[in-house]
């Protein structure tokens, strides 16, 4: 098996072929980041029919090349930058760094150290991740706009505007206002602009929600049947988790979400502490679901929380335990959805045949 390591940059990519059995460098090539050059890369790689690709940071600068290789049937693995740095540090190259060393390091990591993650073609989950990121950006911009509008309205009128501000309420508040000074005229003009932005962000967020709901319907996920999981949280969980089957166990998924406690052990002493690692956006989503379920007297989450309290746990510890429990529940639900999707595709293939 030949492993071809790729060190991607914005304008160029460097590839190094490595024999995984002997760890021998078989050659290297540097190409421009373009489809024409991708084809030249494939022509060069045909010297090794039994090959796979190891791309450093395949979700970043190597994303386009990774998807192109997948589209033509190649096997692609993603190598974390931390893994290539570790290999480079321990190699004979010492602290030297160049594109060929990086590419070879990525290939050797994939071939020998097991730090590689196989890359698959994009799915609905990736579309949901894009919509979730856009929603986060829109929400941040909306919040910033509303805060600026509140500050201006406080300066224009006594007491400012009510906390539950909407574009209509803001427009009504300044409708009868007459600016008497030059600064107030500018404040009034800026307030009108911010109200327009405010309304636009609300429209964009509503459109974003409709797109998310449509994609979730297409996905066929059952996450929305879980208490506390609405369309927005379901999109975030699916988008940031990806394929559920890439996690071998529920414990692996819990570690990925940062809900699994970290063991600290030395000699005869052993205890667990709160994990600060993992995907913090997923961790936040699980916290939101846990808080919603705790507030729902009839939910299974509330029953689990009450059980932990009865065992003598503090409310905070019980809530953390519920987050860990939810991580397992969500992983199993996503895995079941994935298996149903595979069976559906198999049935369609048999029908077509």
What was the pLDDT predicted at 188?
92
Residue 256: phi, psi to the nearest 5? Answer: -65, -35
Specify the pLDDT at position 350: 65
73: left (phi over 0), alpha (psi -120 to 50) or beta: left
pLDDT at residue 100, as a whole number: 75
pTM, full prediction: 0.85
Contact of 128 with 238, CB cutoff 8 Å? yes
Residue in 203, 207, 244, 240 with CA at minimum distance from that of residue 222: 244
**Whole-number pLDDT of residue 177:** 84
C-alpha–C-alpha distance, residues 82 and 90, integer Å: 13
Q: Residue 178: its pLDDT value, please?
A: 86
Structure confidence at residue 96 (pLDDT): 61
Which parts of the chain sit beneath pLDDT 50? none
Q: The tokens of 17 are what?
A: 């072929």
Task: Give pLDDT, residue 176.
Answer: 79
Vertex 281 angle, CA 276 and 282, to 5°: 85
pLDDT of residue 117: 86
């Amino acid at each position: 098996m030949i492993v071809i390591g790729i060190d991607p940059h914005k304008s160029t990519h460097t590839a190094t072929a490595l024999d995984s059995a002997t760890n021998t460098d078989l050659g290297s090539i540097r190409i421009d980041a373009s489809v024409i050059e991708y084809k030249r890369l494939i022509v060069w790689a045909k010297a090794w029919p039994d090959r796979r690709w190891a791309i450093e940071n395949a979700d970043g600068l190597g994303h386009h090349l990774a998807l192109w290789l997948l589209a033509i049937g190649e096997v692609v693995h993603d190598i974390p930058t931390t893994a290539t740095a570790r290999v480079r540090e321990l190699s004979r190259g010492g602290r030297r760094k160049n594109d060929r060393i990086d590419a070879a390091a990525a290939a050797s990591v994939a071939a020998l150290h097991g730090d590689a993650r196989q890359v698959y073609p994009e799915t609905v989950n990736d579309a949901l991740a894009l919509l979730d990121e856009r929603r986060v950006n829109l929400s941040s911009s909306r919040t910033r706009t509303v805060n600026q509008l509140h500050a201006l309205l406080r300066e224009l009128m006594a007491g400012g505007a009510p906390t539950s501000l909407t574009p209509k309420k803001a427009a009504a508040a300044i409708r009868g206002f007459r600016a008497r000074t030059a600064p107030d005229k500018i404040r009034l003009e800026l307030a009108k602009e911010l109200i327009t932005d405010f309304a636009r962000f609300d429209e964009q967020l509503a459109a974003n929600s409709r797109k998310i709901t449509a994609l979730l319907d297409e996905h066929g996920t059952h996450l929305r049947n879980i208490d506390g999981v609405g369309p927005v949280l379901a999109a975030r969980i699916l988008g940031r988790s990806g394929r559920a089957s890439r996690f071998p166990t529920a414990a692996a998924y819990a570690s990925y979400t940062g809900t699994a406690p970290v063991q600290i052990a030395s000699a005869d002493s052993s205890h667990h502490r709160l994990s600060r690692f993992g995907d913090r956006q997923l961790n936040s989503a699980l916290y939101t679901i846990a808080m919603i379920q705790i507030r729902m007297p009839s939910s299974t989450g509330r029953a689990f929380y009450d059980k932990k309290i009865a065992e003598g746990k503090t409310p905070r510890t019980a809530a953390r335990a519920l987050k860990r429990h939810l991580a397992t529940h969500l992983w199993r639900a996503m895995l079941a959805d994935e298996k149903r999707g595979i069976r559906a595709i198999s049935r369609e293939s048999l029908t077509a045949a």
